Chain A
Amino acid sequence: GQNIDQPTEMTATEGAIVQINCTYQTSGFNGLFWYQQHAGEAPTFLSYNVLDGLEEKGRFSSFLSRSKGYSYLLLKELQMKDSASYLCAFLDSNYQLIWGAGTKLIIKP
């Protein structure tokens, strides 16, 4: 079967670093996405990892370990505007996106 799991909610302090984990199980895998979604808005693309390792893009980095079925999104120098839900999703063998439930990130001053 397929499943994907991420924490429901996390809290962090402005200026700090936070890591949002995502674990998944699937027989076929064609990459993992991270999206950011602010309340009442559509998701926006953050990253796509298909190979193992860390990909850095400004304050945001995404890591993938295919053997462990594990990914994380790392947010540095947190800003209040980073308060949002972060969705991970993987592409299965049919190239269909399987979505996690999202992690609500709360940033405190």
Chain B
Amino acid sequence: GAVVSQHPSRVICKSGTSVKIECRSLDFQATTMFWYRQFPKQSLMLMATSNEGSKATYEQGVEKDKFLINHASLTLSTLTVTSAHPEDSSFYICSADRTGRDSYEQYFGPGTRLTVT
């Protein structure tokens, strides 16, 4: 159990366009979902934490108007990269915290590789 999916797995877009990435918990409910960004050979960088039905909490330095997060249900969160630029090219990974469990383990999606040309 505890499977998290992400869609798309890879996306190439032109500079100035917007891209939406979906993160779904397939067999459990996730009160909290996390969005990370990872540049090559670097560790995970938390971008934001989203709780179902409320506004996301963004980490310092992450522009909330550029990276729009919606957590409309207990199984779905979306990240929209607006007006993407080449420097936004990265590996975006979501994770989910299972509701009602105390282990605080985060279950990761497979990631989305975004390339902005």
A→B interface (CB under 8 Å)? 30-31, 33, 40-45, 48, 87, 91, 95-97, 99-102
Contact = CB atoms under 8 A, between A and B. Distances in A.
Contacts of A31: 104
Contacts of B104: 30-31, 48, 91, 95, 97
B68 interface: no
A99 B105 contact: no
Contacts of A30: 104
B110 A42 contact: yes
Contacts of B44: 43, 87, 99
B8 to A, nearest CB: 14
8 contacts: A40-B113, A42-B109, A42-B110, A42-B111, A87-B44, A96-B49, A99-B44, A102-B43
Contacts of A100: 43
A44 B108 contact: yes
A98 to B, nearest CB: 9
B58 interface: no
Given A40-B111, A42-B110, A48-B105, 12 more contacts: A40-B113, A43-B108, A45-B105, A45-B107, A87-B44, A95-B104, A96-B49, A97-B106, A99-B43, A101-B42, A101-B43, A102-B43
Contacts of B42: 101
Nearest 7 A-B pairs (CB), nearest first? A42-B108, A101-B43, A42-B111, A102-B43, A42-B93, A99-B44, A42-B110
Nearest to A91: B104
